[in-house]
Amino acid sequence: MKPFHLLTVSILILSLVLTGCYGRSVETQSTPGEGQLIDSAEEDFNKLSEEKKEEQRKARAEEEARRKAEAGEFYVPLPALGQEPVLRTVKARALYLTANVAGFDFSEEDIAYYAEYIRTMRGKAKAPADTSRMDEINKLEKALGICEATEINALVIDIKNDDGVVTWKSDTEIVNQVGSNSSSPFENYEKLMNYLTEKDIYPIARIVAFKDPYFAEIRSEHAIRLKAGGVYRDHSGKMWVNPFDEYVWKYLLAISKEAALRGFAEIQYDYVRFPDGAKTYNPITEFPGRNDRDKDEGIEEFLKYAKTELEPYRVRMSADVFGIITHSWDDKPEDIGQTWRKIANQVDYICPMIYPSHYGTRLYGFAVPDQHPYEVVRSALLEAIERNAAQKKPGTIRPWVQGFNASWVKGHINYDAETISAQLAAAMELGIDEYIVWNASNHYDPMTFFYHDRIDRNIRQEGEDILSRTPQAALDKYLDAEKNRRYSLLYLLTPITERQEDYDAFAAEAEKNSSVLKSYKITGIDKNEDGSYSAAVEAVNGNATGSGIKNEVLYKIILENEVYKVIRSESDGNAE
């Protein structure tokens, strides 16, 4: 490129960024939310001398020219100087909205009417409920009315949906090249985004990642391939893009960055996985760019990449995972690329989809899990908490809960306000005070969100950890895991500072230990002044085939991340 052309491009980009022509987002300032500090970027920039401002503008123009040359069709500008958004921290209690509903026009008068109706139904107004205009209120107005009159303070909105449709008119070259935004149901996004900012409602952009039949069809070289030739289609006939393909990563991040520029405070990746049914398709498919990596390594590396790319845009990042991921280990047997710790360590929020209807018979002891929303959600979240407690800085657990009737499940029940809120109560009792309600039709009963009198504040007994385990129960679980060489449980029950952070390294070292715990008996357990516990265990150890040697082994039990963990202290060396 000739110097004159580079200067011209720099000036054009500078004008674009400083005037906010790239959408409206560069003009939008997030309103400080819960736990949020007021951003001083604009104030700091304005305090600079004109000479310093000009230096920064020149440097930014040069940087944008470089970024555009490197990114090509994936280019998205940085936030404008002095207008960088606030990195928000909000305890999000959210509703899901399709782009079609989010794109509805709305009246603030109608929103206020519906909010007053909710207050009246809760006995918070003197006059009887006015239902005369109820048929005139659309789903968006109802959702916003729920935000005004209940604890709901966030919305999850489709920006790239399950069909691969980008739901608004995009200024990004790659989106326009492939035509993925041709329908644009959320085209008139400015009005809603301005309203959300004004009302301090936390906006989350849902971006479906690797289930993208549209992009896979248009750019089939980036789809999952069949070894015999052609592209793979799942059981419903849909094509998926290849999660190992970095071209796909760049496409997703271009869409994500634009969502950040247009005012979204969080980017949430859904279908951040491979197709299910891996046992069927693994033998017949291939993934160009895999390079011998496991599927969960590929997903982990995508999230690392996304986190780095989004950092200048000051947004939070979250990922949705199958509900079963709280229960499984190392992506087995699902083999869809989702391992809890590998995802939780890369995101601000990890969002398990713990819909009772989606669990198999007997997983948590119920013939029809759909009939037991409170118990299933509690069981799944206990597992999630235990997995998070084994990591140094994992993402916050923010579950998706079931807000729909699973009519395809034999023996299903009606998910009404009481049934849905039972899931919320289960989460709150465990200290998980964020959630998202999924209902594909976007129909939400506002009475769902008045459930706090149903929360059992005394569910955790004195001396128990957050998992309702006593120190002795934790030690017994640890010893049983040691006896049966269940390394995943040993990993979860060992304090973080007492083991390798990497599970594979931890398991490899444990496997080298030739001594096998053949039997044990806890002979005493006492509480120490510092709140920890000391325990004596009569243990019989030996190798896989040899005779046992009896020792008295001392253990220490501590509370780490609200979960009891076990440290093996010493043995007295006595043998029989």
Query: What span, in angstroms and rounded, lies between the C-alpha atoms of 142 and 158?
Result: 18
Does the pLDDT at position 22 exceed 60?
no
| Confidence (pLDDT) at 20 | 39
Task: Render 24-91 in DSSP notation, one character per residue.
Answer: SGGG--PPP-TT-PPP-HHHHHHHS-HHHHHHHHHHHHHHHHHHHHHHGGG--PPPPTT-PPP-----
Rg (alpha carbons) of the chain, rounded to whole number: 27
435-438 vs 396-397, strand pairing mode? unpaired
| Confidence (pLDDT) at 17 | 39
High-pLDDT (> 70) share of the chain, %: 90
Does the pLDDT at position 30 exceed 50?
no
| Confidence (pLDDT) at 55 | 86
Angle, helices 3-19/50-71, rounded to nearest 10 degrees: 110
Confidence of residue 130 (pLDDT cuts 50, 70, 90): confident
Please give the distance of CA 218 from its chain centroid, rounded to a whole number: 29
Sign of CA pseudo-dihedral 213, 216, 217, 218:
positive
Domains, the chain, ordered by start: 3-74 (no CATH), 93-454 (3.20.20.80), 471-571 (3.10.450.100)
What are the b/e assignments for 14-24, b being 16+ CB within 10 Å?
Answer: bebbbebebbe
Average pLDDT over residues 474-480: 97
> Comparing 55-64, 65-74, 260-269, 422-431, which segment has the lowest mean pLDDT?
55-64
Say how many Å lie between the first and final Cα of the chain, rounded: 83
| Confidence (pLDDT) at 390 | 98
| Geometric angle at alpha carbon 76, from 73 and 77, rounded to 5° | 135
| Confidence (pLDDT) at 370 | 97
Instruction: Flag whether the pTM goes above 0.85.
Output: yes
Average pLDDT over residues 144-164: 98
Confidence of residue 34 (pLDDT cuts 50, 70, 90): very low
Class of residue 125 by CB neighbours under 10 A (exposed 0-12, middle 13-18, buried 19+): middle
Confidence of residue 8 (pLDDT cuts 50, 70, 90): very low
| Confidence (pLDDT) at 125 | 63
Does the pLDDT at position 572 exceed 90?
no
Does the pLDDT at position 228 exceed 70?
yes
Does the pLDDT at position 482 exceed 90?
yes
